[in-house]
Amino acid sequence: MAICFLSPLKAITPTTSLTTSLNPKKPNILRCNFSLPIITTTEPEPVFTSVRSFAPATVANLGPGFDFLGCAVDGLGDFVSLRVDPSVHPGELSISDISGTKNLSKNPLNNCAGIAAIATMKILNIRSVGLSLSLEKGLPLGSGLGSSAASAAAAAVAVNELFGRKLEVKDLVLAGLESEAKVSGYHADNIAPAIMGGFVLIRSYDPLELMSLQFPVEKDLIFVLVSPDFEAPTKKMRAALPAEIGMSHHVWNCSQAGALVASVLQGDLVGLGKALSSDRIVEPKRAPLIPGMVGVKKAALEAGAFGCTISGAGPTAVAVVDSEDRGVEVGERMVEAFWKEGNLKAVAMVKRLDRVGARLVGSVPR
């Protein structure tokens, strides 16, 4: 690893949204190629000495949106600080520091942030500058809140911002996918909303097509995220999935997926919650593997949540409400249920929909 010295970061740039570059009058679809694109024109120069970025937590699957739908959650996520470092070999990246967890490798090739940063440097064709990256984990690992995607998204955005924001959103998602592929499979339902914010539908992978689904700006959407002290056995969670699905269940889940998308676009919280709760294929197989989850969902609905399901592959439970007060109440009931029904301690958080996605939060000019 290269020698590290941390630059003092100064927030001189207001929080900026990557998604603002999407023309709101055009349907929000991004199409790009499957393989990692490489910009072969002039190598860009860094416009900052250092930058600091943030990427939010994400909730993937969303019940019937299994493996193709995810959304971002505000006020919870990972930070990346990135700086030009003459002590790092030109064209290479070093991870100087990781805080917030002890379980991550500082080898950039074995670290989500490292892989995504290197992929972004590759797309930008960076050969003359070495970089040092510092990762601050705000998200617990393996919680079902898109921890790896948040690190990757923050890293990809940091590299792009450092070199003058040359890349499009699609390139950043592809860079993040390089990382996700190593950690949890080539799935974009966390990395795409982590970068783009809001709800994102993964329409296809070859070519990668992403649809941004805008929840109406005038409406509030609040998530209750309850994480139990339990390690969801990833292999077991994946193995629990049925290989074949009966036609009636397929039609049911398809219709609920359609209803979920319509509810998001129409800002219909009741409909959204109902769709979230409606999965008949994945949740019924996975919920019994998380102690107390069935009772937690019941408790959330009884306490007034519009809907509840497993976040990602778990073990976090996610419920949807329309006010923070209601969210606190629902969260307490869910924590109680995890303890009573699953003998698990749990922590509840009440968070809003993140509409921005990964963003620059600080920078030091050259």
Active site residues: 180, 234
Binding span for a second copy by CB under 8 A among 32-40, 203-211, 285-293, 308-316: 203-211
For a second copy, the closer CB: 217 or 247: 247
**Nearest residue (CB) to a second copy, 28 versus 49:** 28
For the record, the structure tokens of 319 come out as 């419920």
Question: Out of 268, 276, 293, 309, which residue is the one contacting a second copy (CB under 8 A)?
Answer: 268
DSSP-derived secondary structure for 156-212: HHHHHHHTTS-S-HHHHHHHHHHHHHHHT-S--TTHHHHHH-SEEEEEEETTEEEEE
Options 22, 51, 60, 69; binder of a second copy; rule CB under 8 A: 69
Which range, of 106-114, 123-131, 247-255, 315-323, touches a second copy by CB under 8 A?
247-255
**Cα–Cα separations (whole angstroms), residue 10 to 39, 48, 84:** 30, 11, 15
Q: Single out the residue of 311, 61, 69 nearest to residue 201, CA to CA.
A: 69
Residue type (1 letter), 237: M
Per-position b or e across 266-299, b if 16+ CB within 10 A of its CB = ebbbebbbbbbbbbbbbbeebbebbbbbbbbbeb
Tokens of 281: 């294929």
Instruction: Give me the least distance between CB of 69 and a second copy, in Å please.
Output: 7
Asked if residue 140 has a cis previous peptide bond (ω within 30° of 0), the answer is no
State the DSSP H helix or E strand holding residue 50, giving kind and residue range, or none if neither.
strand 48-60
Among 3, 11, 12, 29, binds a second copy (CB under 8 A): 29
Examine residue 265 and tell whether it contacts a second copy (CB under 8 A).
Answer: yes
The least distance separating a second copy from the CB of residue 188, rounded to whole angstroms, comes to: 11
What is d(CA 259, CA 272) in angstroms, rounded to the nearest whole number?
A: 8
What is the residue type of 155? A
Nearer to a second copy, 136 or 279 (CB): 279
Q: Is 211 in the site for a second copy (CB under 8 A)?
A: yes
Q: Is 203 in the site for a second copy (CB under 8 A)?
A: yes
If one asks whether residue 216 binds a second copy (CB under 8 A), the answer comes out as no
Residue whose CB is less far from a second copy, 70 or 77:
70
> Judged by CB under 8 A, how many residues of this single chain contact a second copy?
41
Q: Smaller CB distance to a second copy: residue 111 or 184?
A: 184
Q: Which is nearer to a second copy, 12 or 254 (CB)?
A: 254
Subset of residues 163 to 202 that bind a second copy, contact rule: CB under 8 A: 201-202
CA 22 to mean position of chain CA atoms: 19
Bridge partners (DSSP) of residue 71 are: 59, 199
Q: Supply 97's token pair.
A: 């520091």
Residue 261 tokens, joined: 């998308």
Using rule CB under 8 A, residue 56 touches a second copy? no
Contacts of 264 by beta carbon, 8 Å cutoff, 6+ apart: 199, 213, 215, 272
Q: By CB under 8 A, name the one of 183, 241, 294, 347 that touches a second copy.
A: 241
Choose which of 56, 65, 144, 146 interacts with a second copy (CB under 8 A). Answer: 65
**365 belongs to the binding site for a second copy (CB under 8 A):** no
When asked if residue 38 is in the footprint of a second copy (CB under 8 A), the reply is no
Contact positions vs a second copy (CB under 8 A): 27-29, 64-69, 201-204, 211, 213, 241-247, 250-251, 253-263, 265-266, 268, 270-271, 281
